[in-house]
Amino acid sequence: MPPTEENAGSGHPNARHPSEGRPKPGALAGVRVIDLSRVLGGPYCTQILADHGADVIKIEPPQGDETRGWGPPFAMGLSAYFAGANRNKRCMALDLSSAAGQAVLLKLLGTADVLVENFKPGTLEKWNLGYDEVLARLFPRLIHCRISGFGETGPLGTLPGYDAAAQAWTGIMSINGSEGTGPIRMGLPIVDLAAGLNASFGILAALHERAGSGRGQSLATSLFETGLALLHPHAANFFMSGADPKPTGSAHPNISPYDLFRTKTTPLFLAVGNNGQFAKLCARLGAPALAADPRFLENKDRVAHRADLRAELEARLRDEDGERLAEELLNLGVPAGPVIGVKSAFAQEQARSLRSRLDLDGVGHVAPPVRMSRTPASVRAKAEPFGASTRGVLEEAGYSIEEIRELFAAGVVFGTP
C-alpha cells in the first residue's frame, strides 16, 4: 500500500512528506557539489550525496541530460528514469564548449567542494579545464571525481561506455542466464549503479582526508573497473581454478541448495548457506533424514550432488505455498524468499514499515536506504525541469540581472533545451 496523506509523514527517518516541516540537516550539509554528469552513474552518485544534505548543482548541456527523454512513463514533464536519479538537486544548463560557459563554471567552482563528471577522458583537458593543469592550481581544496566507461588508459580508455556494454565487456553478461538461454543482460543497470556507489564512497573518503590535510585530490572510477569488481565469486573462482565460469541460471556456483524452486504457487528461492540451515529446511519439509544422507552432509557434497538434491526438494515443495513457506523458513532461520513483482515488493508490510516508498509532489521515490539516527537523509525535492535553477544559481554566484540576460542571449546558459 503506498503512503497516504495520513501515514506518509511518520515512521521512516530517511524520508519526508511535503506536509512536514523542514528536515534536519543531513550529514553532508555544507558540502557543495557541481555535477556535470549525465545518464546514471554520475547522477546516482550525486543523488546519494544530495539525499544526505549536500547542495548539488546539476549542470546539463544545452540539449539536456538524455535521460529526460527516456520513457515512457512521463509525468509532469519528467521521465521516470530522470526523476529517479536526480532528486534533491538544482538544475541549470550551460554550454561548456564556449569560453564564456567555462568562465561561468570556474566561478561556480570557487564555492564548490566537489566536481563530478563523466565525460570521455580528455574532454575537460580539451576545454582547458583539466584537473592537474588548471583546477588543482585554482582550487587546491577541490575534489574532482571522474566516472568513465573504460578508464583513462589502454586501447578502450577514451571510448564511451554504457551499462549494458560494460556488462558484456567485463564478463557479467556471460555468467547471467543459463545454458538454455545463453548470456542475458541483468535486468537492472547494476554496473552504472555500482559505479555511482563507488564514486560516492571515493568522494566521502577524499572529504575525510581533506579534513586533515586541507588538500583536494582527483579520483576516478569506471564502468569497466566496477564491472570487474562485481564479479565475486566468479573472479575468485577463476583465479583459483583457472576455469572460465559458466552461466548457472539462478543457482550459485559454490553453494547448494541456493537456487529457485517450483512450489504449488509462487517460485521460491532457497539460500541455504550452512549445515544448520539445511537441517532446519529438511525438518520443515518432513524429511530430516536428508540432512544425514551422505550425498548432502556438507556443502561440498550438496554441490557435487545438486541434481539429486533438487529432485528431493522439489518432490517435497510441489504442494507448498511458496510465499507462506518462505515466511516460515525465515522464522526458522533459513534464508528464503518468494519471487514477487515490484508492485508487490512495495506493497508488502515490510516495505511499509520501513517507509521504503515516499510520494513527494506527486512523484514516487525509493527512500534512501541508509538510516542515520542524528543526521538522516531526506527526500526534499523532486527532480527539476530543465534549466529551472539557472537564474537562481547565477544570481547566487554574484551575476547581475543584466549579466544573466546577456548570458542567455549569447547562448551560454539556458532555461529551455
Nearest-angstrom CA–CA distance, 147 and 41: 7
Residue entry with cell 551499462: 163
Look at residue 21 in the predicted model and tell me its pLDDT: 53
Phi, psi (deg, nearest 5) at residue 406: -70, -40
Long-range contacts formed by 20-24: CB under 8 A, 24+ apart: 23/376, 23/378, 23/380, 24/374, 24/375, 24/376, 24/378
The answer to whether 31 touches 54, Cβ cutoff 8 Å, is yes
Gap between the terminal Cα atoms of the chain? 37
Residue entry with cell 581533506: 210
Q: Do domains 32-230+355-414 and 258-347 have the same CATH topology?
A: no
Task: Enter the C-alpha cell of residue 348.
Answer: 508488502
Instruction: Tell me which architecture the domain covering 32-230+355-414 has in CATH.
Output: 3-Layer(aba) Sandwich (3.40)
Residue-by-residue pLDDT tens, the chain, 417 positions: 333 333 333 334 444 433 345 677 899 999 999 999 999 999 999 999 999 999 999 999 999 999 999 999 999 889 999 999 999 999 999 999 999 999 999 999 999 999 999 999 899 999 999 999 999 999 999 999 999 999 999 999 888 889 999 999 999 999 999 989 999 999 999 999 999 999 999 999 999 999 999 999 999 999 999 999 999 999 999 999 999 999 999 999 999 999 999 999 999 999 999 999 999 999 999 999 999 999 999 999 999 999 999 999 999 999 999 999 999 999 999 999 999 999 999 999 999 999 999 998 888 999 999 999 999 999 999 999 999 999 999 999 999 999 999 999 999 999 988
Long-range contacts formed by 72-81: CB under 8 A, 24+ apart: 75/362, 75/363, 76/362, 76/363, 77/385, 78/363, 78/382, 78/383, 78/385
- Indicate the length of the chain as a whole number: 417
Helices (H), 61-186: 80-83, 99-109, 123-126, 136-138, 163-169
Selected catalytic residue, list 192, 293, 319, 321: 192
How would you class 343 by CB atoms within 10 Å of its CB: exposed for 0-12, middle for 13-18, buried for 19 or more? exposed
SS3 279: helix
CATH number assigned to the domain covering 258-347: 3.30.1540.10
| 192 assigned to active site | yes
The ranges assigned to domains in the chain are 32-230+355-414, 258-347
Nearest-angstrom CA–CA distance, 315 and 103: 70
Q: Which residues contact 268 (CB under 8 A, 6 or more apart)?
A: 260, 261, 262, 317, 320, 322, 325, 326, 336, 337, 338, 339
Nearest-angstrom CA–CA distance, 406 and 410: 6
Look at residue 9 in the predicted model and tell me its pLDDT: 34
| pTM of the shown model | 0.90
